[in-house]
Amino acid sequence: MAHTSDGTVWGGDRRALVDLVGERGAKRLEQLDIHSPRDLLRHYPRKYFHRGRYTRLRDLVSGEHATVMAQVKGVEDFKSRNKRLHVVKISITDGDTVVPLTFFARRPYMVEYIKKQLRPGTSAMFSGQVTYYRGDLELIHPDYEPLPQAMDEEEAARRAARPVPVYPATAKLPTWRISDMVRLALEPLQPSEVNDILPGEVRQRRELPGTVAALHMIHQPGNDLDWQAARRRFAYEEAFLLQTALARRRAEIAARDATPRPGTTDGLLAALDAQLPFTLTDGQRQVSAEIAADLAGASPMQRLLQGEVGSGKTVVALRAMCQVIDSGGQAALLAPTEVLAAQHARSIRHLLGPLAEAGTLGGDARGTKVTLLTGSVTGPARRQALADAASGASGIVIGTHALLEEKVQFADLALTVIDEQHRFGVEQRDALRAKGRTMPHQLYLTATPIPRSVAMTVFGDVEVSTLREIPAGRSGVTTYLAPAGQQKWMQRIWALIAEQVAAGHRAYVVAPRITSTSLEDDGAAPLDLDGPAGPDAPGQGGPVPGDGGPATVEDTYARLGKEPALRGISLGLLHGRLSAEEKDAAMAAFASGQTPVLVTTTVIEVGVDVPEATVMVVLDADRFGLSQLHQLRGRIGRGSAPGTCVLVTGAHPDSPSVRRLKVMTETTDGFVLAEQDLAQRREGDVLGAAQSGRGTSLRLLSVVRDRELIEQARQDARALITADPNLVHHVEVLTAITELVDPDHEEFLDRA
Ligand code: ADP
Ligand code: MG
């Protein structure tokens, strides 16, 4: 029996694992990141097989390592041509497809052994490399495990109901070996040895089994309900720990003192409102009220404002800035790039008008000064900017990372606004906050629609406000799907571009790759929450006839240069391999109309505004995620002229890819598209590498499926932290979340 530091299997280490499964077993488990009996018990089955329910053999993919459940159909054996080897050919079936297995044996008794184990009619699991042999799928020398024959009828019935766990496995360690090892770890485990992480009242309220019971149910279920209940329990545990960590951090910040900034009724904010050239939408009004209430409070605001490009976040943020200025404070706006910082400064100055020119002749007495501070502001301008921030003369300081430098000081920093916050780390956000005399209120802005379950998981410690509507007066975008490789369609697309350019507009032509030899997509990922395109098969036949691979920027650029319909129109070229200067120049030439057609990858910066752009053609659109296409499409139809978006795809009209793309033609709601994307994406792509991580990180919790569970866990976690802020009465929880928030995981929690 395993003897470990605290005398239990549960608390054991590698020694205990070696005691259980031997040195060789422990080595093999290491490849699965299993280092202790506890890791082994937390290695959950990925799915379950059922007797009589066979794996669909037709779905096997060549090159994969697969584990299947099937029935032996036929057996034959013969000698190889050179007579040195015996070959055993077994065919297995799922009742529909038949797949051959080939075994090689040196000695006749091995042939007999295999034939005895795999008699026709036997059900067994097989695990091995799927290969193509003469056009047919085949498993070469797979591992196999016949399902044990029942002794009597009763036993047979019980066995038949029992799901067979299938573990994430390796070539050297098939799933049934892992099952055996898990059994060894499970047998000696006593409920009294394991401290349940979930508080008893939570377990009761949510009807969750205890740890040890759940471990038995997940590894050795008597029926499907068992493992389902156990999975729910462990997923809940993950959600609960994560939410407790987030709730604790939220409580820590809330416990800090902030200066209340209630504003006044006759200051800068009132003056701004009086001169706005439009009326606020209901959404803007509501979100503004939430923020105003937060700012008036004595604990620091922690709020995320999400709304698509053009939803009017800037004016909402500006109103918050004005409120704190009216209360004697200053606001800082941090943007990820110089281009975006400059754009913010421009639109804020534009909205404020004379109110942005305090201290100058035409300036309004209630006004303030708007200062831009980026890396390219140098010399006397920089000294002036620093002086204005430090004296308080400047109520609004806008900048990039340059704002974080130690030299930048504020008289009284009351509010920090962070644009596209996922591009900044915590240290950076904290560095800005540290410049306040008391802890500043913090507002995050994001243009990426985030489904609620993801927001709760990744941003669980902040309040979320959402702007759903786009202000009226926008002409909107119509989206079409076009089949690749059909000359007639492509001709119409190029003619449309020519027509729009003649009317003074601009067009983007987007391709998924730069060159045909580049292995990767552009790689530049301004759309951070987007993973790569879905798992669908790529479209065949790009828009360039005779071209098998995906459309490339270079080919498209060359081809459009020769396109008769576009004669006389200058083309621009933009992609991630250009230098920063070249990119800026390409963007500027496009914006000015010098090159009214821009052939590009997805590198076009989020938020970059060319109001004259009315056409967006996306080649091989099936290679992009819906959110990504939505972001791309958001760059047209921003002026007064309506936009047209054409998604070109070579995928078959009935394929899942095309069904997916059709959604683009039916809605312009980024949240609907983000949810759709989420539903189609594999979990790991959503939360990134952190999700596939080790130890106690998220293994079972799915932000796709477990939305309700996450919501419940959040309620329970917040209640727990309210009752026991420092978790002194819940030491197991404290230990578990400390493990969760170790440096590796901090990054995950802080992607918020
Ligand atoms: P975001 O920052 O969310 O991308 P902006 O704040 O830049 O969006 O707003 C986009 C455009 O819409 C700006 O020109 C802005 O002045 C304008 N706008 C904002 N709110 C309204 C409104 N309520 N009605 C009409 N136009 C608005
Ligand atoms: Mg904006």
pLDDT digits (tens, 9 = 90+) for 185-232: 999 888 887 888 899 999 999 999 999 999 999 999 999 999 999 999
Which ligand has its closest atom nearest to the C-alpha of 340?
2
Q: Report pLDDT for 8.
A: 57
Is the Cβ–Cβ distance between 315 and 280 less than 8 Å?
Answer: yes
Atom 15 (ligand 1): residue with closest C-alpha? 312
Residue ID of nearest Cα to ligand 1 atom 6: 312
What is the predicted pLDDT for the residue at 539? Answer: 33
Q: Which CATH architecture has domain 268-296+310-446?
A: 3-Layer(aba) Sandwich (3.40)
| 523 CA from centroid of ligand 2 (Å) | 24
pLDDT recorded at residue 204 = 94
Q: In this prediction, what percent of the chain has a pLDDT beyond 70?
A: 86
7: tokens are 């005398």
Closest-lying ligand 1 atom to the alpha carbon of residue 308: 3
CA of 385 to the centre of ligand 1 (A): 27
Cα-based distances in Å from 242 to 201, 701, 747: 18, 10, 13
**Residue 435: partners with Cβ closer than 8 Å, 6 or more residues away:** 332, 408, 409, 410, 413
* 461 pLDDT above the threshold of 80: no
Calculate how far, in angstroms, residue 114's C-alpha sits from the geometric centre of ligand 2.
Answer: 68
| CA of 466, nearest ligand number | 1
Q: In angstroms, what is the span from residue 344 Cα to ligand 2's centroid?
A: 7
pLDDT exceeds 70 at position 526: no
Residue minimizing CA distance to atom 9 of ligand 1: 312
Look over the chain and give the mean of its residue pLDDT values, rounded to a whole number: 83
Atom number in ligand 1 closest to CA 316:
6
**Residue indicated by tokens 């990426």:** 448
pLDDT tens figures, 689-745: 333 333 335 666 776 677 788 889 999 999 999 999 999 999 889 988 887 665 444
Q: Which of 315, 321, 340, 420 to mutate to test the pocket of ligand 1 (most atoms within 8 A of CB)?
A: 315
Question: Residue 607 C-alpha to ligand 2 middle, in angstroms?
Answer: 6
Residue 518 pLDDT level (bands cut at 50, 70, 90) = low
Q: Which CATH class is domain 477-667?
A: alpha beta
Q: If you measure from the C-alpha of residue 310 to the centroid of ligand 1, how many angstroms do you get, rounded to a whole number?
A: 5
Out of 272, 278, 421, 469, mutate this one to test ligand 1's pocket (max ligand atoms within 8 Å of CB): namely 278
Sequence-distant (≥ 6) Cβ neighbours of residue 345 within 8 angstroms: 370, 372, 398
The CA 453 to ligand 1 mean position distance, Å, reads: 27
Shortest-distance atom of ligand 1 to CA 317: 6
Query: How many A from CA of 302 to the centre of ligand 1?
Result: 23
Alpha helices in 574-706 (DSSP H): 580-592, 626-633, 656-666, 670-680, 683-687
Distance of CA 239 to the CA centre of its chain: 17
Segments making up each domain of the chain, as ranges: 1-46+175-195, 51-162, 268-296+310-446, 477-667
From the CA of 314, give the closest atom in ligand 1.
6
**Tell me: the pLDDT tens digits for 155-192?**
777 777 789 899 988 878 888 899 999 999 999 888 88
Phi, psi of 25 (to 5 degrees): -60, -45
Question: Distance, CA 306 to ligand 2 centroid (Å)?
Answer: 11
The H-assigned helical ranges of 258-361 are 268-275, 282-296, 313-326, 338-352
Q: How far is the CA of 335 from the centre of ligand 2 (A)?
A: 10
Record the pTM: 0.67
pLDDT at 252 exceeding the cut of 80: yes
**Pairwise CA distance, residues 308 & 113, whole Å:** 65
Give the chain's count of helices (H) and strands (E).
Answer: 25, 21
Q: Which ligand is nearest to the CA of 281?
A: 1
CA 351 to ligand 1: nearest atom: 16
Ligand nearest to the CA of 310: 1
Confidence of residue 520 (pLDDT cuts 50, 70, 90): very low
- Residue that the structure tokens 């780390």 belong to: 425
- What is the pLDDT at residue 682? 46
| Position 312 pLDDT exceeds 80 | yes
Residue 324 CA to residue 319 CA, distance in Å, equals 9
Q: How far apart, in Å, are the Cα atoms of 460 and each of 115, 302, 702?
A: 57, 11, 15
Percent helix, strand and coil across the chain, each rounded to 5? Answer: 40, 20, 40
Whose Cα sits closest to atom 17 in ligand 1?
A: 312
Ligand in nearest proximity to the CA of 284: 1
Distance from residue 315's CA to the centre of ligand 2 (Å): 9
Asked whether this chain's domains 268-296+310-446 and 477-667 adopt the same fold, the reply is yes
The rounded Å distance from CA 667 to ligand 1 centre is 21
- Ligand lying nearest the CA atom of residue 318: 1
Average pLDDT over residues 27-43: 91
Phi, psi torsion values for 647, nearest 5 degrees: -100, 110
CATH of 51-162 given 2.40.50.140, 3.30.200.20, 3.65.10.10, 1.20.120.1080: 2.40.50.140
Q: Bigger pLDDT: 521 or 264?
A: 264
| Residues in contact with ligand 1 (CB, 6 Å cut-off) | 278, 280-281, 284, 307, 309-315, 347, 447, 471, 473
Q: How far apart are CA 59 and CA 55, in angstroms?
A: 9
160 Cα: distance to centroid of ligand 1 (angstroms) = 63
Q: What is the pLDDT of residue 29?
A: 93
Q: Which atom of ligand 1 is nearest to the CA of 350?
A: 16
Pairwise pLDDT comparison (681 vs 677), residue with the higher score: 677
Atom 20 of ligand 1: nearest residue by CA position: 312
Ligand 1 atom closest to Cα of residue 473? 25
* Ligand closest in space to the Cα of 348: 1
Single-letter amino acid, residue 748 = F
For ligand 1, atom 5, the nearest C-alpha belongs to 312
Specify the amino acid at residue 750.
D
CA distance 259 to 265: 18
Stretch 110-135: mean pLDDT: 87
pLDDT per residue over 585-630, tens digit each? Answer: 898 899 899 999 999 988 765 556 788 999 999 999 998 888 889 8
pLDDT tens for each residue of 38-95: 889 999 998 898 877 888 888 887 877 788 889 999 999 888 888 788 899 999 998 8
Closest atom of ligand 1 to 307 CA is 3
